């Protein structure tokens, strides 16, 4: 199969590229390298440096002739979306429409879209949260992802494009970007390994559902031929930030209490995804528990430093 991965030089996209190549598929990666790293792109993949909002995207996708497009290029920072919602919408809505249109024009069969479970649902009344729950995003980022899902449905109905939206929980693991404000496990791990206490925003009782990137990759591979639709990709297990800090500090061999700062706007208090539908329809469930996953992540940053 010919596959195309947008954002394939980034944290998640590079892992998906590796797995597709390992499975015998040919892969074209499109990435503007604004956050991704060229060194993370597998040498067997064909690489095109391009912004997904560019007018040149259609020609690049047509040249790749993909059967399946894995769309992971995005503005990923919730807080950045609060600071600059126009830029967030340009990348995450307009850019996604550009990818969908290019996929249809190139004759692609399916688009697998990297969506966001926590950001889309907002503060929910049901934990773990199923796909059928009302979506009340607390940030422009979540609103943009929800809008992009709606566009995927429109292209499916109008053009026959098979569309799968994977609503990710909080993804962590090797290659996660420890800089900026996205990726709390990577940020905390790098600071703890360097002897600098990380800052917990708010009182630390906010919870998230942490899913390892290797489990996420398996979900993307399952989505190649699975039933089109919207699926949660999470563990169904909540972990609060204070617990995360204690576990990471122990793994890094660091002592001392956490430093707390003010809470950040646009972030919900609890987030945990119900993966039941994904298990039933795609045959996927998470297999890496959080303690094991943290060990591999800390080892990666320890060896990379």
Active-site residues, by number, are 141
> Kind and range of the H or E element at 157?
helix 140-159
What distance in Å separates the CA atoms of residue 163 and residue 44, rounded to the nearest whole number? 27
What distance in Å separates the CA atoms of residue 302 and residue 253, rounded to the nearest whole number? 11
CB burial of residue 214 (10 Å; 0-12, 13-18, 19+):
middle
What distance in Å separates the CA atoms of residue 150 and residue 142, rounded to the nearest whole number? 13
What distance in Å separates the CA atoms of residue 212 and residue 199, rounded to the nearest whole number? 22
Could you give the 3-state DSSP secondary structure of residue 122? coil
How do beta strands 239-240 and 207-208 pair?
Answer: antiparallel
- 93, 152 in Cβ contact below 8 A? no
- 148, 93 in Cβ contact below 8 A? yes
């Amino acid at each position: 199969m010919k596959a195309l991965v947008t954002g394939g030089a980034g944290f998640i996209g590079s892992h998906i590229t590796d797995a597709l190549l390992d499975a015998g598929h040919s892969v074209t990666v499109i990435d503007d390298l604004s956050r991704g790293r060229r060194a993370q792109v597998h040498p067997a993949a064909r690489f095109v440096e391009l912004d997904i909002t560019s007018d040149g995207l259609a020609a690049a996708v047509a040249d790749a002739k993909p059967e399946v497009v894995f769309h992971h290029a995005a503005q990923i920072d919730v807080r950045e979306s609060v600071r600059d919602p126009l830029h967030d919408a340009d990348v995450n809505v307009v850019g996604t429409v550009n990818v969908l249109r290019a996929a249809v024009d190139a004759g692609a069969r399916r688009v697998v879209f990297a969506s966001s479970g926590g950001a889309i649902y907002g503060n929910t009344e049901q934990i773990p949260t199923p796909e059928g729950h009302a979506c009340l995003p607390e940030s422009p980022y979540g609103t943009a992802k929800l809008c992009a899902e709606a566009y995927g449905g429109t292209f499916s109905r109008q053009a026959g494009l098979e569309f799968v939206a994977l609503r990710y929980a909080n993804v962590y693991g090797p290659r996660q970007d420890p800089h900026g404000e996205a990726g709390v496990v990577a940020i905390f791990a790098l600071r703890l390994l360097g002897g600098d206490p990380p800052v917990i925003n708010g009182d630390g009782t906010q919870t998230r559902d942490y899913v390892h990137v290797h489990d996420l990759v398996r979900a993307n591979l399952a989505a190649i031929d699975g039933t089109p639709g919207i699926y949660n990709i999470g563990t169904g297990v909540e972990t609060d930030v204070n617990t995360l800090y204690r576990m990471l500090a122990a793994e890094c061999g660091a002592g001392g209490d956490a430093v707390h700062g003010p809470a950040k706007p646009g972030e919900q208090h609890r987030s945990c995804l119900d993966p039941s539908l994904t298990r039933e329809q795609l045959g996927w469930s998470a297999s890496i528990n959080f303690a094991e996953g943290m060990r591999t992540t800390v080892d990666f940053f320890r060896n990379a430093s």
